[in-house]
Amino acid sequence: MKRNIPPLADFQAVLALHECGSFRAASSRLGLSTSGLSRQVAALEARLGTRLFDRDTRKLHPTASGEAFLRVAARLVHTADDVMAEFDAHLSASRGRLTIAGLPSVTAGLLPAHVRTFANAHPDIDLVIIDALSEGVLDAVETGNADLGFTAGTVTARSRLAFQPLMDDPFVAVGTPDGPLCEERTYAWEELTQLPFIAMAKGTSVRELIDGACQRFGRPLEPRFEVAHLATAGALVAEGLGITALPTLTLPVLRFDRLVHRPIRDFGVTRRIGLVRRSGRSLSPAARAFVAQFGHAAGPASAPRGASRA
């Protein structure tokens, strides 16, 4: 027979009555009047079509139906308590899952220290990091596969995304200590483009900014090598096959024990790193906690240890 499920308060009332043994004690525990609790139980019995307690002047005794209902009530109330404890943990960002998408240079150069701090403060939150190129980061956030994204530039072409600038990531020239960049000085951009150049592939945020810098001088870039991955660019530079120009955050990806980096004069552009989220959507408590912890801690990009700071 189909029944309307009683509210949780009715199950809690029956348990309290059984555990306390009287309406007076149970109503005190529940914060109700004795008459109010009596009416609530009577209404529940009428809805169920059965008596749950036999009453005398001194004690309440559950009936056979009451015993069966108490077993159900105990399971339901305990489950509700567990569920609410889990939800409270979610709200306090002490449990859950957080997925972050980011450019490879950001996931390697900027996020690790922040992830370590967050993981130490929230050990029961599972962290998933997706490293992807700019379009992949935007797609992950837009489709909901990632809670947050870290990318370069802006996202004005995607109305469902919001971009919050966090920091500027200046370009530096990268070479070997005994190569064309052996002098510890600032190099002119036009000078660098005349050297054997190892460029990132078209479609990357790095290449887009480099091509823009070249357009200022009216001379397109003619790279000696063109690669899709930062590690490949670093390996070719380390072998003395040319120099490259990269944002500072990319440097931890490279084999910097065999490389140096130098400031660039007249490059004219700076890569802007920002936080991407879906417009009009509330962040999960875990995502809010990460953003709050990230805060203004992301200062200017710094060189890796052991790298030249010329």
Q: Where are the domains of the chain?
A: 8-91, 96-164+274-294, 171-269
pLDDT for 92 equals 54
Domain 96-164+274-294 architecture: 3-Layer(aba) Sandwich (3.40)
Residue bearing the bigger pLDDT, 306 or 46: 46
Residue-level pLDDT at 182: 94
pLDDT at residue 306, rounded to an integer: 33
Q: How confident is the model at residue 232 (pLDDT cuts 50, 70, 90)?
A: very high
Question: Does the pLDDT at position 162 exceed 60?
Answer: yes
Structure confidence at residue 242 (pLDDT)? 95
* CB neighbours of residue 55 within 10 Å: 13
> Per-residue pLDDT averaged across 192-203, rounded?
92
* R_g over Cα of the chain: 32
* Domains 96-164+274-294 and 171-269 belong to one CATH topology: yes
Q: pLDDT higher for 169 or 218?
A: 169
What does the pLDDT average to over 146-153?
89
Higher pLDDT, 93 or 100: 100
Residue 241: the pLDDT is 95
Mean pLDDT within 152-159? 68
Beta bridge partners of 282: none
99-139 residue pLDDT tens: 999 988 888 888 888 899 988 888 888 899 999 888 889 99
Overall average pLDDT of the 143-164 stretch = 82
Q: What percent of the chain shows pLDDT beyond 70?
A: 87
Cα dihedral: 187, 271, 256, 309 (round 10) = 50
Average pLDDT, the chain: 84
Report d(CA 48, CA 52) in Å as an integer.
Answer: 9
Nearest of 272, 268, 273 to residue 214 by alpha carbon: 268
> How far apart are the C-alpha atoms of 220 and 94, rounded to whole Å?
52
What pLDDT, on the 0 to 100 scale, is given for residue 302? 38
Of 77-81, 175-179, 214-218, the range with the highest mean pLDDT is 175-179
pLDDT digits (tens, 9 = 90+) for 282-309: 888 888 888 887 664 433 333 333 332 2
Q: How far apart are CA 273 and CA 216, in angstroms?
A: 22
Report domain 171-269's class: alpha beta
CATH code 1.10.3720.10 for 8-91:
no
Q: Which residue has the tokens 């064309």?
A: 180
With 80 as the cut, is the pLDDT of residue 156 above it? no
Question: Residue 90: what pLDDT?
Answer: 58
8 A C-beta contact, residue 177 and residue 260: yes
pLDDT, greater one: 208 or 236:
236
pLDDT at 303: 36
> Is 154 a residue whose pLDDT tops 80?
no
User: For residue 84, what pLDDT is reported?
Assistant: 76
Note the pLDDT of residue 192: 94
> What is the predicted pLDDT for the residue at 89?
58
Judge whether 205 and 103 are in contact, CB under 8 Å.
yes
Evaluate whether 237 touches 175 at the Cβ level (below 8 Å). yes
To which residue do tokens 């050990």 refer? 123
Q: Is the dihedral of CA 145, 167, 104, 129 positive or negative?
A: negative
Rounded distance between C-alpha atoms, residue 229 and residue 227, angstroms: 6
Confidence grade of residue 221 (pLDDT, cut at 50, 70, 90) = confident
Cα–Cα distance between 39 and 123 in angstroms, integer?
A: 47
For residue range 123-134, what is the model confidence (pLDDT) as tens digits? 888 899 999 888
Provide the pLDDT for residue 54: 87
